[in-house]
């Protein structure tokens, strides 16, 4: 926290805190034991302010959702105009609206080759539910109803719904919610650090072996994040994705890329699939598509899925799919990323952050400092990452402890001096944790 406070804002902060703890169950908290919240009241670029008057640098972009940064008046104006014109109408069946039509057209322009259609959602989990259902339906419709298995990976995070949680490979997130949906089969976490120099060979051999054991004729799809996010900002070992794609294609297994975190400039490309040179059959997006100004997501669907599912009735959808206001905002958000050349900027600031933090690898408590673009992680070998998150916030820098890794993903608009401040504060906190 960088500034302190006047008594009126103290009063407001206390009032809001009391009301919050009385009324709200927050995600990822203990029921019955609410903690005093940080109540944000304003954002601008990479900066945030709370109700007590404290200022923060947003080193994570909230939950990785805001490439264009906070507080863009332009996006507020677009939302207000659209709301005043047509706030919402359903897009089920043959109803549609102009902003979602234009957004779909834009997404298809930006997507890797082979992507031909868009199915809108309101967020990431819904997108993965959609992709898994569509993969199963496609094979069911194509006369291969036994193809229901979904291959997923340890360390993967795909959301909190039925299929999306079942395909999430992080034990602590699954505990207590069973039985989860059946038909998920597991592959190892694609991380070179524990697997060694021949990690890609090991992982591809495992993939081939699992397919042989399960039977390709029973597998509908493989789902994976190009770079593991919640699992610790883990880029895959060199050459992994093209080889995975080759095995999947050879076995007619659909490839679902969960790009809810990695798309819209995080890797310097619109999609990490492009960065890794692959053409998935479905790409699931959310977050950065609207920079989080409104909930929005999209599943981008490729030719192979469309061919398999051709003629199938897709009885699936959520009330707010293709929301005109969210679509208009997403379109304007993408325009800002293009106009301000933010993908190139993201690469520069991401490099500065990674270079600044890399020396931490010399500390015994740090196993690895890694990242691609603006997706950066500091994995601890031992020690307490939660204390780093708390200590950094005390010093006005927001980073996130995700298991044994400190994860960062600042807005692409962040200044060099704010990057340097994150480096300085996080370095101090990691040293203190050791
Ligand atoms: N997939 C990935 C890779 C994510 O990081 C997330 C959220 O962080 C999700 C899916 C779920 O998205 P949502 O929280 O919008 O449902």
The span from the CA of 370 to the CA of 356, in Å, is: 11
Please compute the mean of the pLDDT values over residues 164-168 and round it to a whole number.
98
Residue 336 pLDDT greater than 80, yes or no:
yes
Q: What's the mean pLDDT in 179-191? A: 97
- Please give the mean pLDDT across all residues of the chain: 96
Q: Which residues of 38-72 are buried (b: 16+ CB within 10 A; e: fewer)?
A: bbeeebebbbbbbbbbbebbbbbbbbbbbbbbbeb
Calpha distance 374→267 (Å, rounded): 7
Which atom of ligand 1 sits closest to the CA of residue 262?
3
Q: Separation of 348 CA from ligand 1 center, angstroms?
A: 25
Digit-coded pLDDT (tens) for 202-227: 999 999 999 999 999 999 999 999 99
Compute the average pLDDT of residues 184-209.
97
pLDDT at residue 7 is higher than 70: no
Pocket test for ligand 1, best of 27, 60, 125, 290 (most atoms within 8 A of CB): 125
Q: How far is the CA of 54 from the centre of ligand 1 (A)?
A: 28
Give distance in angstroms: CA of 127 to centre of ligand 1. 9
Specify the pLDDT at position 383. Answer: 87
pLDDT of residue 4: 46
**Cα–Cα distance, 412 to 67 (Å, whole number):** 5
Q: How confident is the model over 390-405, as a mean pLDDT? A: 97
Give the alpha-carbon dihedral of 303, 224, 273, 101, to 10 degrees: 50
Tokens of 264: 């819209």
- Give the pLDDT band of residue 23 (cuts 50, 70, 90): very high
**Side-chain half-sphere exposure of 54, counting CA atoms within 13 A:** 18
pLDDT (0 to 100) of residue 138 = 98
**Cα angle for residues 255, 199, 270 (degrees, 5° grid):** 45
- CA 260 to ligand 1 center in whole angstroms: 6
Report the distance separating Cα 124 and Cα 382, nearest Å: 31
Task: State the pLDDT at residue 343.
Answer: 97
Ligand 1 atom nearest residue 126's Cα: 16
pLDDT in tens, 280-325: 999 999 999 999 999 999 999 999 999 999 999 999 999 999 999 9
pTM above 0.85, yes or no: yes
Share of the chain above pLDDT 70, in %: 98
* Residues contacting ligand 1 via CB (< 6 Å): 63, 123-125, 128, 157-159, 225, 229-230, 258, 260-261, 286
- Whether residue 84 contacts residue 324, with contact meaning beta carbons closer than 8 Å, is answered with no
Comparing CA positions, the residue from 144, 133, 421 lying closest to residue 282 is 133
Q: Is the pLDDT of residue 197 over 50?
A: yes
Nearest CA to ligand 1 atom 8: 63
> So what's the pLDDT on residue 9?
64
Q: Tell me how far CA of residue 337 lies from CA of 67, 274, 334, 390, in angstroms.
A: 8, 17, 5, 31
pLDDT at 1: 53
Q: How far is the CA of 294 from the centre of ligand 1 (A)?
A: 15
- Is there a cis peptide before residue 271, judged by omega within 30 degrees of 0? no
> What are the strands of the beta sheet with 400-402, ordered from one edge?
366-372, 375-380, 405-408, 400-402
Atom of ligand 1 nearest to the CA of 286: 15
Task: Among 170, 257, 260, 407, say which to mutate for ligand 1: greatest number of ligand atoms within 8 Å of CB.
Answer: 260
Q: Are strands 375-380 and 366-372 parallel, antiparallel or unpaired?
A: antiparallel
> Would strands 149-153 and 184-187 be described as parallel, antiparallel, or unpaired?
parallel
| Nearest Cα residue to atom 10 of ligand 1 | 158
Is the pLDDT at 8 greater than 90, yes or no?
no
> Rounded to whole angstroms, how far apart are CA atoms 39 and 90?
33
Find the 306 Cα to ligand 1 centroid distance in Å.
25
Cα 413 to middle of ligand 1, angstroms: 22
pLDDT at 5: 46
How distant, in Å, are the alpha carbons of 102, 103, 325 from that of 86? Answer: 15, 16, 8
Distance CA 234, CA 238 (A): 12
CA distance 273 to 98: 28
Question: Would you state the structure tokens that stand for residue 177, as one six-digit string?
Answer: 């919610």
Tokens describing residue 133: 């259902």
**For residues 140-168, average pLDDT:** 98
Out of 236, 261, 284, mutate this one to test ligand 1's pocket (max ligand atoms within 8 Å of CB): namely 261
Atom nearest to 64 CA in ligand 1: 8
């Amino acid at each position: 926290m960088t500034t302190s406070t006047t008594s009126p804002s103290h009063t407001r902060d206390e009032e809001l805190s009391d009301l919050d703890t009385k009324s709200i169950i927050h995600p990822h908290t203990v029921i019955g034991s609410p903690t005093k919240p940080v109540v944000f009241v304003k954002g601008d670029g990479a900066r945030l302010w709370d109700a007590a008057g404290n200022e923060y640098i947003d080193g994570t972009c909230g939950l990785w959702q805001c490439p264009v940064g906070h507080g863009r008046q332009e996006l507020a104006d677009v939302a207000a105009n659209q709301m005043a014109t047509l706030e919402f109408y359903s897009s089920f069946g043959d109803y549609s609206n102009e902003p979602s039509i234009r957004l779909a057209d834009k997404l298809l322009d930006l997507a890797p080759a082979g992507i031909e259609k868009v199915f809108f959602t309101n967020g990431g989990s819904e997108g993965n539910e959609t992709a898994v259902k569509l993969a199963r339906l496609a094979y069911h419709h194509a006369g291969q109803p036994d193809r229901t298995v979904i291959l997923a990976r340890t360390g993967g995070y795909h959301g909190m719904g039925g299929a999306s949680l079942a395909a999430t490979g992080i034990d602590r997130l699954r505990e207590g919610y069973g039985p989860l949906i059946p038909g998920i089969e597991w592959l190892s976490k694609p991380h070179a650090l524990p697997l060694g120099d021949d990690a890609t060979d090991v992982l591809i051999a495992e993939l081939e072996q699992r397919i042989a054991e399960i039977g390709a004729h029973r597998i509908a799809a493989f789902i994976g994040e190009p770079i593991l996010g919640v699992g610790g900002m883990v880029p895959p070992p060199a050459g992994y994705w093209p080889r995975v794609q080759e095995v999947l294609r050879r076995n007619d297994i659909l490839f679902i890329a969960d790009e809810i975190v990695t798309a819209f400039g995080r890797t310097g490309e619109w999609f990490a699939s492009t960065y890794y040179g692959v053409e998935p059959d479905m790409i699931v997006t959310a977050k950065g598509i609207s920079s989080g100004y409104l909930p929005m997501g999209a599943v981008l669907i490729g030719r192979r899925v469309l061919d398999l599912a051709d003629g199938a009735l897709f009885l699936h959808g959520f009330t707010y799919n293709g929301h005109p206001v969210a679509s208009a905002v997403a379109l304007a958000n993408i325009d800002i990323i293009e106009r301000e050349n933010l993908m190139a900027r993201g690469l520069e600031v991401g490099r500065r952050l990674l270079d600044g933090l890399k020396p931490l690898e010399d500390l015994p408590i740090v196993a690895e400092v890694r990242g691609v673009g603006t997706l950066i992680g500091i994995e601890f070998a031992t020690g307490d990452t939660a204390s780093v998150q708390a200590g950094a916030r005390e010093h006005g820098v927001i980073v996130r402890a995700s298991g044994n890794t400190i994860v960062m993903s600042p807005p692409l608009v962040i200044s060099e001096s704010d990057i340097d401040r994150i480096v300085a504060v996080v370095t101090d906190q990691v040293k203190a944790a050791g």
